[in-house]
Amino acid sequence: MENHTKIVLDENDMPKKWYNINPDLPKPLPAPLHPGTHEPLTPKDLSPLFPMELIRQEMSMERYIPIPEEVREIYTLWRPTPLYRAKRLEKALKTKAKIYYKWEGVSPAGSHKPNTAIPQAYYNMKEGVERLTTETGAGQWGSALAFATTLFGLKCTVYMVKCSYEQKPYRRIMMETWGAEVFPSPSERTEAGKVILKEDPTSPGSLGIAISEAVEDAVKSGAKYSLGSVLNHVLMHQSVIGLEAKKALESIDEYPDIIIGCFGGGSNFSGLAFPFMHDKLKGDKESLRAIACEPAACPKLSKGVYAYDFGDTVGLTPLVKMYTLGHTFVPPGIHAGGLRYHGGAPQFSLLENEGLVEVKDIQQTDAFKAAELFARTEGILIAPETAHAVQGVIEEAKRCQEEKTILFNCSGHGHFDLASYDAFHNGKLKDYEYPAEKVKEAMKHLPKMD
């Protein structure tokens, strides 16, 4: 029992249904609003962006939604993913905690993101869509969607945040190999991009700007748009992570006291945590702690406000109630590109507002120190995003006075982030203070609600 290093479930143990947290939330989720009228959105309002089945899932109150057989068949290319016990990390930390991690970096794209890219491409294909547009920060989401669309014969257009496009050519090449077309954002291809470039020709871009471009492209051309995080249906698709982890832990009579994940828009954290939060919300596991680790340079969960805001920079997307730094906030160019988003998923934000989940801010040099220790103990070279979770784990493990079980999501590998590791090794990585002035300025632009 005590001695497991790696638990791998059988293919047949892979979940047959996704878990949707909507019916279990302590309050109904505040309705998403139309960006122009501020009226609650109807499914029809969303139909220029998403296929009907994803809109249905977004609003669904069913607790479990069946995973289509075609999607499960592709999942088996890398799922079930292994669950590891981090014995060597435990030893290095001299902790009483038992540390387990779910390793999502074994997917073809190298992260958890194909868990939602595959069903999203599938439902679009089913409804006759021929092209998907999207944004990508670090390139992880773009790669996942490029991989998924190619399996279903769809075209894929990716707007890649310019600073990543320049720093990370290998992710672009990966997307192109899977057949996607990739443009640096802001670009001249959209009105949204042109407006930003006019204001600041040297803009490094941001996820918010790239989303504006991808949405505009989709709406104007009759393609559909695909989002890799934040939305309810995305978090639901990611529940395969937590459902598998639960089953694997059950098989060795374990249940976590603490669950940890890094937080960009909230999908990998929620994918792991929500199936366990289900127990807490039912009243079964009240002491369960779930901790989201965000970068100190983009602290929407700890320093943002819980308010209606746009998902993009220009204001084309629906308004959703979430923790936000303001949609015009452009975070400093930290190396964990996947965590540079101004808002947090509405489902997570509601739980945070109710005091049911916790938040930790992590500096990037601490994150890279944690990543290095992880590589030297567990062997895996993790993504800078994931490193924020590992630093969160280290802090909690060091505080453990008694034996506790910690479970964290090891969301992806860092094989395309070696330049960031190099900067860290050469002492070139710096920490950013909380950009209070920039946040204050961006908060002025929150949409006025009546």
Ligand X SMILES: *Cc1c(COP(=O)(O)O)cnc(C)c1O
Candidates 145-153, 202-210, 243-251, 256-264; binding stretch for ligand X (CB under 6 A): 256-264
Count of residues in contact with ligand X, rule CB under 6 A: 20
Q: Which is nearer to ligand X, 78 or 252 (CB)?
A: 78
Residue closer to ligand X, measured from CB, 186 or 412: 412
State the minimum distance, in angstroms, from the CB of residue 63 to ligand X: 22
Enumerate residues 6+ apart whose C-beta is below 8 A from 137.
160, 161, 164, 207, 210, 264, 337, 338, 340, 341
**Please, are residues 267 and 230 in contact by the beta-carbon 8 Å criterion?**
yes
Phi, psi of 261 (to 5 degrees): -155, 155
- For residues 97 and 408, the answer to whether their CB atoms sit within 8 Å is no
Radius of gyration of the chain (CA): 20
Interaction pattern, residues 98-137, with ligand X; x per rule: CB under 6 A = -------------x-x------------------------
* 43/169 with CB nearer ligand X: 169
Tell me how far apart the alpha carbons of residues 70 and 193 are, in angstroms, rounded to a whole number: 37
Please state the φ and ψ torsions of residue 224, each to the nearest 5 degrees: -120, 165
For ligand X, which stretch binds (CB under 6 A), given 12-20, 55-63, 261-269, 419-427? 261-269
Q: Which is nearer to ligand X, 262 or 439 (CB)?
A: 262
Task: Report, in Å, the least distance between residue 323 CB and ligand X.
Answer: 13
Which residue's CB is nearer to ligand X, number 225 or number 254? 225
Residue 363 in contact with ligand X, rule: CB under 6 A = no
CA torsion through residues 168, 169, 175, 178, sign = negative
Among 309, 385, 396, 417, binds ligand X (CB under 6 A): 385
Among 331, 338, 343, 346, binds ligand X (CB under 6 A): 338
Can you give the three-state secondary structure of 348-380, one letter per residue? HHHHHHCCCCEEEEECHHHHHHHHHHHHHHCCC
Nearest CA to 335 out of 408, 422, 442, 409 is that of: 422
Residue closer to ligand X (CB basis): 95 or 261? 261
3-state secondary structure of 164: helix
Closest CA to 178 of 162, 156, 160: 156
Nearest to 335 by CA among 394, 408, 406, 416: 416
Tokens representing residue 102 in the block: 């779910």
**Which of 57, 81, 167, 229: binder of ligand X (CB under 6 A)?**
229
CA dihedral 417, 217, 301, 19 (to 10 degrees): -90
Closest approach of ligand X to the CB of residue 347, in Å? 12
Q: How far is the CB of 360 from ligand X (least distance, A)?
A: 14
- Subset of residues 395 to 414 that bind ligand X, contact rule: CB under 6 A: 411-412
Q: Is there a contact between 273 and 261 (Cβ–Cβ < 8 Å)?
A: yes
Interacting positions 266-295 with ligand X (CB under 6 A): 266-269
Contact window for ligand X (CB under 6 A) among 33-41, 263-271, 324-332, 420-428:
263-271
CB nearer to ligand X: pick between 112 and 278: 112
**From candidates 22, 212, 317, 386, binder to ligand X by CB under 6 A:** 386
Which one of residues 57, 95, 120, 140 is an interface residue with ligand X (CB under 6 A)?
A: 140
Contact 341, 229 (CB under 8 A): yes
Please identify, using beta-carbon distances, which residue of 299 and 412 lies nearer to ligand X: 412
Q: How far is CA 64 from CA 25, 58, 240, 374, in A?
A: 14, 13, 11, 35
59-67, 259-267, 275-283, 372-380 -> range binding ligand X (CB under 6 A)? 259-267
**CA–CA separation, 210 and 314 (whole Å):** 10
Phi/psi at 92 (5° precision): -60, -30
| Site of interaction with ligand X (CB under 6 A) | 111, 113, 140-141, 229, 262-269, 338-339, 383, 385-386, 411-412
